[in-house]
Structures are given as C-alpha cells and as structure tokens.
Amino acid sequence: MAHLDNAEEVARIDSKAAAKIASNVQDYNELVHDAAEAAHEEKAMGVMESIRAYPKAVLFSVGISLAIVMEGYDTILLGNFYAQPAFQKKFGVCDAEGKCQVTAPWQAGLSNGSQIGSLLGLQLVGWLSDRFGYRKTMMGSLALMTAFTFLPVFAENLVTLLMGQILQGVPWGIYQSLAVAYAADVCPVSLRPILTTYVNLCWVMGQLIAAGVLRATVERTDKWAYKIPYTLQFMWIPLVLTVVLLAPESPWYLVRAGRLDDAEKSIMKLQGKNASSESARKTVAMLKHTDELEKTVSAGASYWDLFKGTNLRRTEIGAMAWLVQQFCGSPLMGMSSYFLIQAGLPTTQAFNLTIGQFSIGAVGTISSWFIMRWMGRRTIYLVGQVIMILILLAVGVINVAGGTPWAIGALLLCFTFTYDLTVGPACYSLVAEIPSTRLRAKSVVFSRGAYNLAGILINVINPRMLNPDAWNLSAKSAFVWMGTGLFFLVWSYFRLPEPKGRTYGELDILFEAKVSARKFKSTQIDEFGHFNVAHQSGAAVVSDDSSEKKSEKGDVVNTLSYTHA
C-alpha cells in the first residue's frame, strides 16, 4: 500500500492502492479532493479553534468518559477495604490478639473477580459495538451495572462479594473500550491527546472520590463503613445514561456501516453553531478515504485481522503500551492504603495520604495535556518510565535501610504524580491512535484484555508480597517493579512510535511503509497525491498539480504527490 523513500524520508502510497480505492468509489477525484481539504483544515486547527468547531464533540466525549469515573471509583474500593477495620472484621480472619486480615488467597480472588468479568465484557464489546453501535452498547452496559451493583451492597459473605466483582466487571470491560474509542472517533487531531487522556483523569477522579469516601468511613465500626461506599456506586449511572441518550453515534462507525448520510448528520451534531453541511460532507469524505485506504491492506475487520500484516505491529504497540501501566509499579498505588500500613503508617494517616496521592494524580493528568503537546507521546513515555524506576529504587533502599515510613509515603506521592503526568494519560492516547480505524474498537479490546490478564497475575502476586502472613516484602516489593519497569523501558525505546499531529490516514501510511518507531516524528507523508493543499490568503486551497508548492522563502508548503494509476 505504501513505501518509504529513504533518500527523502517521505512515505508514499503506491499506485496499486490508489487504483483499488478508485475502483471502490463513484467519484474518486471528488472524494480525494474533499478528503485532502478536510484533512488539511483539521491539522491546521489549534486546540481552541478545534473546541470552537467541535464543542459538542468535547461535551459528549467528556460525558461518556464519566463512565470511567464510575469504574475508577468502584475498582479502588476493594483494594483499600483490605485496610479498613470494619471490612477486615466482617470478611477477614482474626488472630488471638484480635487483629483481622482478609487472607491473601481471598484478596487475590476478589481482586481477580473484576478482572475476569472485565475480560468477558471486553470480548462482548467488540461484537456488540460492531453490530449495534457505540450508543446502544453503552446503554445496555449501564443497565447491567444497575442490576449487578446490588450484589456487593447486600453481600454478607465473601462468595457473594466475589460474584458481585465478577458480574460488575462485565460492564467495566465495556466502558474501558468504548470511552476511549468514542473519544478518538469524534475529536479532531489537536483534541485527540486531551480527550483520550481525559479518560485517565476520569480514573483519577473516581479514585480520589473513593479515597475521600473511604477516609470518611474508616473510623466507623458497623457494616455501613463498607456498605455506604458500595451504595454510592449508583449515583453515576443516571448522569452517564443522560449523556449517552443525547450523544450522536460515532461517525466512523456509520462510515464503516455504509451510512454516509447518517455520518454527516452525526458530524453536524458534534460541531458548533457554525456547522455546515459542506464541512460535514468533506469530513465524511476524509473518513471514507481513510476507510478505503485501510481496506486496501485488509478488507476484514475481525479479531484475526489484528495479527495480519502491519496490523500485528500496531496490535503489539497497543498491548505493550497498556502493559507498561501494569508493570511500572502502579499496583502499589491501587493498594496504597494497605501498602502504607504494611510499611508502618497508622491506618488513619494511610487513608489521609491516599487522598493526597490521588489529588496529586489529578494535577499530574491535567498538566500532561500541556506537556504532551510539547513533548509528544513517545518522549513523555520514556521520561516517565525512567523517573518511576528511580523512585522505586529509592523506596526499596529506604525500606532496607530502616528509614521512616513517611519518606516512603512521600516517594509514593512523587511516583503517583509522575505516573499520572506521563505513562498514565499518554497510554490512553496511544492505544486509541495507533490502531487502524477499522480495527480500533477490537484493538482496544485486545490491548485492554492483555492489561487485564496481566492484572490477574499481579493480583495474585501483589497481595502475597505485601501481606504479613505471606511473603511480607512490604516496601521491598518496589525492587520487583523496578525490574519489570526496566524491561518495558527498553521495549519503549525501540518499539514505541510518535503519533503526535498525525491524521489516521497518515498513520496508516507510516505503518504500511514500515517506518522505524524512532523516525515516525521526522518522516514526511504523501497521502493525497496530485491533489495539493496550500494556503492562500488564509484559506485552504486544493489544486490538481504534482509540482512542489513553495513559499516566498522557498520552503515546501505541503505538497502531496499521490501516484494515481
């Protein structure tokens, strides 16, 4: 489909791919003309201009991503309940001194219950979203969440609690895929890093709210110490459902379904008061051109297609990017209260520090929106991993040397800020941008599935590392995560590309041309061929001319030479 001119470092589409696209559309010249103009206009828009052009896209993406706030809230509860005295007394095993602990096997089983349910939900969402679209799939998952939340609220034993975790995990798995995919589908290039990484902020917001609720109930000695946090899960469902009912379907989904008129209507609903049918038509042409471009590589859109041709490389990047999150040391944040108590802090102070931890995480994620525009995804990933490895080394050394647990707590705050400034948010941008648009939902499903499988392994190991009745490594477990972090740092350096500022069509060409990960940023793209895009009097102009356009200073102004058979 594409080749790389090494002399010029320009990735081009070959004539066979162009001919194949031309054979599949009614008016090839008009399609490429409109697509080229729309792509140029989208790339030229800054952040504020994009917000003004697509205010409803921002609103609906932010609203649907609130489902992740619900998930972040729900999933953080259990790991910190292990440190709550009332929960320990109800569901744990007490020794002769009256100290109670949920046993390590049950901790692993309960934590893995949601992971197993999420894996099931992830397998369902790929098929459901292809068949029914994003909106109907999200509505169904919210209905399931309403029913399944009753189980943990009224649980009186560990078995019922485990069933609740498994069944709640099903809609959580659906949220994990759809929120990211919808954000990537509806926003222009300049908003992609913000709206996709906003998903990480939603996680942090949910965790912060949960930490506050847990701190407010930690000193209660009755059953409501853990029933109140579980009951509050219901508050998110009506809010998210209202947004889903008002939101339009993904225009990418409609284009793939051949519903081009509906795709234009969807884009009109995503745009602001200055929306025009002409602009929507050109945007749909860009989506259609990218879709046809991807069909020249793989006509199918099944899970098997994730492992064919260059899609295999894209699948590897998506899965490994999410695995970096799991193995960089983040499990210590998920069980932070329990971790800090085992490190020597009093229970109340451990919960106080957890609130501070997630507050700092929120600041980190918001800060990443500005830093990512400057550094890009690849650089921020590499820098973040290096800093986290150094922090984990310091945590382990302090514990071995018998240092104060407050120093370990302070380092955990630094770790959380670094994570939520770098790897945490950048991952969501990468897993949404890297796949082809035809396989995006399935790629996110597969990558998140790999993340959840790793989570199952971690949920078996992590409680044993921290539990005083098991391995009792305490803060020395930081050395384990430092080792895994080093491995993924090496992978990131050699395999993680930079998608910053690229349209989805440009990314398709870069992957098909087999451009090295370290050259993604510098390689020029030749996407639309003899339809050139230049700026004249501040407006985008498309012309049928294969010669290079130069400014008065002699610089190339974006010449696109598509070899048309």
- pLDDT (tens digit, 9 = 90+) per residue, 352-366? 777 887 788 889 888
The encoded tokens of residue 436 equal 């082809």
**How many Å from the N-terminal Cα to the C-terminal Cα in the chain?**
13
pLDDT at 18: 67
pLDDT at 343: 66
In a domain, 563, yes or no: no
Label residue 189 by pLDDT band (50, 70, 90).
confident
In a domain, 531, yes or no: no
Spatial contact of 181 and 440, defined as CB atoms under 8 Å apart: yes
Give the chain's mean pLDDT. 82
DSSP string, 304-373: GGGGSTTHHHHHHHHHHHHHHHHHTTTHHHHTHHHHHHHHT--HHHHHHHHHHHHHHHHHHHHHHHHHHH
Spatial contact of 43 and 210, defined as CB atoms under 8 Å apart: no
Across the strands, what pairs with 3? 12
In a domain, 2, yes or no: no
Dist. CA 197–CA 442, nearest whole Å? 19
In a domain, 445, yes or no: yes
Q: Tell me: the pLDDT tens digits for 307-354?
A: 988 899 999 999 999 999 999 988 777 666 666 776 677 777 777 777
Element (H, E) at 436: none
Dist. CA 407–CA 142, nearest whole Å? 42
> By percentage, how much of the chain surpasses pLDDT 90?
28
pLDDT at 335: 63
Task: Give yes or no for residue 429 having a pLDDT over 80.
Answer: yes
pLDDT at 562: 34
In a domain, 77, yes or no: yes
Task: Give yes or no for residue 555 having a pLDDT over 50.
Answer: no
Structural domains counted in the chain: 1
Spatial contact of 494 and 517, defined as CB atoms under 8 Å apart: yes
Task: Give yes or no for residue 561 having a pLDDT over 80.
Answer: no
The domain in which residue 73 lies consists of: 47-247+298-506
Task: Give yes or no for residue 534 having a pLDDT over 80.
Answer: no
Q: Residue for token digits 């995560």?
A: 481
Between these two residues, 53 and 557, which has the higher pLDDT value? 53
pLDDT at 42: 84
In a domain, 553, yes or no: no
pLDDT at 334: 63
In a domain, 471, yes or no: yes
Spatial contact of 40 and 33, defined as CB atoms under 8 Å apart: no
CATH number at residue 369: 1.20.1250.20
Prediction pTM value: 0.74
Task: Give yes or no for residue 122 having a pLDDT over 60.
Answer: yes
Considering Cα of 230, then 232, then 237, then 243, what sign does the dihedral take?
A: negative
In a domain, 398, yes or no: yes
